[in-house]
Structure 1
Amino acid sequence: MIIEGARQADKSTLATRLAGDHAVVVNLDDEQTRLAAVANQVGFVAQAGPRRASRW
């Protein structure tokens, strides 16, 4: 899931609440995190490990 919007609009809070305990929430505002994601997209996603699908 991607949540975009203005700064300080509670996007991280929303993502954490929607994702629950079975997800990894990543904030790409952190420069090193963003650089890692850009450098190796597949590896970046794979590092989170297997996840199960959630139904809302």
Structure 2
Amino acid sequence: MKTTKEKTLDAVKIQREIRVKISSETENMTFEELLKYIEQRVKKTGTKPIGQK
């Protein structure tokens, strides 16, 4: 007999929604604007870029 659990969190759905949001925010940006956007988001979240301590 196989039992199934109801999902309480759909990580794939959330990731796709985030990707769509970011794509719509950045779709018409130049490379320099995109770099500035990324820098602002990194500062806002407090995460460190890969390879930095």
Normalising by structure 2, report the TM-score. 0.30
- The structure with the largest helix share of the pair is 2
Query: Larger relative CO (CA 8 A, sep 6+): 1 or 2?
Result: 1
